[in-house]
Amino acid sequence: MKTISENRCFGGVQGVYSHGSKVNDCEMTFGLFLPREAEDGPVPVLWYLSGLTCTHENAMTKAGAQAFAAEHGIALVFPDTSPRGEGVANHEDYDLGQGAGFYVNATQDPWAPHFRMWDYIAEELPNAIDAAFEIDPERQAITGHSMGGHGALTLAMSLPERFRSVSAFAPIANPTQSDWGRKQFSAYLGDDEAAWAAHDATLLVRERGFAGEMLIDQGGSDQFLDLLKPEALAEAMAARRQPGTFRIQEGYDHSYYFVSTFIPDHIEFHAEALWA
């Protein structure tokens, strides 16, 4: 584990670190905010998964989450969105390749040697953080924005013993039926659409749901509504009677102005589950 930077932040420390990833076969960078309480022992943790084109830095510097996490004594993890570096496959389109890992394990060339973001977020990075920092692995929650909202929802429903709560900001809600999904799944996972279903939040809600409550915020003026397909997820939640709240926030778009406005609600929502 290499320390890139550490800054005092709301009584705690906002750090940026890198480490060698075996599953992605490259160096990976992540942000980690530790509240003051981490000086006395392990603290609960909220994972924040970012969206297309983002790195670990976007939410870390734009969401304003640290102030509210500090109030509740919660750590924040800001992973990168994909493997990066020399020798890692990339694409000229912004929504494929580096910056667009989609939180899946690629099985197709040229992506398979490096793009294993599911294993990285589900296993490798949690184990690395648990070994190096004061994190309580029994108290974890997850959230994310856009592509990261997709990742947060699919990971939470697929790892029901791992996460106590899940939320999302403008998630890519039905990727098997969207150009933000079909394009990437066919590239990373191949043309067998049966292999895509495990990475579609709408299908997972219909199939299994989540044991706790969900909190979803969607901007009503989001410029990507046709790609996000929030109505599919809302309908699936209603059909299953999934406990939770799905809110359309009138006038808000897809930006971090939207995320930063509602991040206090999400952190409070997770704090209730993490400290229960």
Please enumerate, as own/partner, the contacts of 4-11 that have beta carbons within 8 Å and a separation of 24 or more: 4/29, 9/33, 9/66, 9/70, 10/35, 10/66, 10/67, 10/69, 10/70, 11/35, 11/36, 11/70
Q: How far apart, in whole angstroms, are the C-alpha atoms of residue 95 and residue 97?
A: 7
Q: Please name the amino acid found at residue 32.
A: L
Our answer to whether residue 222 is catalytic in this structure is yes
Residue in 146, 165, 167, 178 annotated catalytic:
146
93: Cα within 13 Å, side-chain hemisphere? 9
Q: How far apart, in whole angstroms, are the C-alpha atoms of residue 271 and residue 44?
A: 9
Strand arrangement, sheet containing 135-144:
2-9, 12-21, 26-34, 75-79, 43-49, 135-144, 163-169, 214-219, 244-249
Q: Mind spelling out the 3-state secondary structure of 121-132?
A: HHHHHHHHHHHH
Our answer to whether residue 146 is catalytic in this structure is yes
Given a contact cutoff of 8 angstroms between Cβ atoms, the answer to whether 114 and 83 are in contact is yes
Which residues does the annotation mark as catalytic? 146, 222, 254
